[in-house]
Structure 1
Amino acid sequence: MNQTCSHDVIKELSQYGKLYINAPMSQFTTFKVGGPADIVIEPLGNETIPYIVTIAKQTKMPVTVIGGGSNLVVSDKGIRGIVVRIGNYGDNEGTIAFEDTRVVVDARVTKKRFVEEAIGHGLAGVEFMAGIPGCIGGGVIMNAGTNMGAFSDIITHVTCYTADGVLLTVENKSLFSYRKSMLPEGAIVVQAECALRYAENPQDVKNTVKEILRERKNKHPLDYPSAGSVFKNPDGHASWKLINDAGLRGYSIGGAQVSELHTNFIVNTGKATAMDIKHLIEFIQETILKLYDIHLEPEIRFIGEF
């Protein structure tokens, strides 16, 4: 642990959330890899976040923000400083407020719950989210989506704390690009406002979601730890097809393997390290660039020292 993580710092932080000291990040990520973080804190509520940020600034400890832990590869060396985990844990599941087709949703709410409650209110526009792991906050940061849509299609405003602990509400004008948001560096998303629509036929929406979930179960490697889709789709191409056509289906480095079921997934077959995953991603990139002169850009984030 970093020397700045003194007993006094830990005691002060403990007022504002549940702490994990020297905790392996593998327990907080869907890839199940990652070394120890100095401190992981799960804030008691959104109102405690500026206090956590202030303590980090005063002690010169870096802050890393994660959500549900999908779309992440955390270094085997872990993460120095404070990891703020904005996720669905304990009794703090976050709130969803419905006002006609306007919906205000807490960042810690899971995408699964948001889809279920929106459909329960007779709304449509969230179908693309079905089966995508993680929480709303992470979905906003990554502009998560599928070929059916993305967060940028429904978000009207995002409320976040800046790295200085200032509460900021940003309007969705040019806030998003493909699988990316333009929020300030180090922003901690706490809430999103969405504009949905009333479903013409609510049963059709339910059936669409059921079909999406069925298809994901059949085509995605849900039996192994992964981070979801690894690469963004380059213009005019599908990453999975490029990887498949390059003969990389099932290719592995250490415990990291290109999924036999869906080639834009890398799975942890049991003993993968973060470096196994990183090296496999780099090998795929090099192979596709050499064969097709196309650069595959990762959709997942690398956190920590590599």
Structure 2
Amino acid sequence: MSLRKPKIVVIDDSEIVLEVSKSALEGAGYEVVTHDRPAGCVALILHEKPDLVLMDVNMPGLGGDTIVSVLGKAAPTSDTIVLLHSSLSAEVLRSKVSTAGAHGFIQKSGDLFGLVREVARWLKRSPNSGNMKAAIASPSEDRLSGTRPAAPAAGAASDSASGLSGRRPSGTLRLDAPTVLLVDDDMSVLSGFRRHLQNDDMSIEFALSGGQALRRMLSDTPPDAVVCDMLLPDISGIEVYQRAVTADPTFRQRFAVATGASGTPSVMSFLATFKGPVLYKPIDAAQLSQAVRSCLAGVRSFAKSGARP
């Protein structure tokens, strides 16, 4: 009998924080519910009965610490772990934790693997996730002094990156409303990429690791273009490209590289033969948009010609 996935509610007024946090936590085996405003938070939490809540502090209208105080009065015996989730200093957050009655806090840092590791530590479990397992294996020291709260027993694992080497027939290329997959394990980079492309007529998706990117790329509805970092925490961007092209050769036309590691021998060797767009960090909006449109143009040309890559 399969065990229930732990449920996490993430409350934040930032769409990018919600999207990348949800993607990272779901990839680690959690069920994730998101909410983008203070209004309705308490009712949502009482209805969902999550194992853990990540509560943003600075939101328009009502601060997350105030919401936590209200929640404590509404459900004083709840087993839910409530954590403040903010980029405020540790000193300020400790004070707000004490005042609001939260269990603790996790600082926003852009480190998504760190976020998953901290959530796992608070839940006192080690998610059996192929993508996140290495990052979770050595939990960091507690950022707050004192005993951490016990959590409900939980299980369930996400699918790993295995089984992706086989060939898959290429899906029908969608030439309208193209989907762009952005692959990077740094939340700040993904946020910047999203801002750069926000005025383009594209559907933006995220992957936070190589394994997650491959699963998306080799799905029945693959993205039209991929912008992939070279140094990822599980498998490299080089391997992502090679395995994707083996399964679907059209990825030669729709893959762009984003890297800050041009001096790494393996990356230099790969770039010497790679024929797609190469972006060197920091990347501005014009460069990113041009690279994505170059990938999309190559896909359209290939689709019209019917030629083999």
Q: Normalising TM by the smaller chain, what interval?
A: under 0.3
Return the TM-score normalized by structure 2: 0.26
Whose strand proportion is higher, 1 or 2? 1
Return the TM-score normalized by structure 1: 0.26
Query: Larger Cα Rg: Structure 1 or Structure 2?
Result: 2
Whose helix proportion is higher, 1 or 2? 2
User: Which structure would you say has the larger RCO, counting Cα contacts within 8 Å and 6 or more residues apart?
Assistant: 1
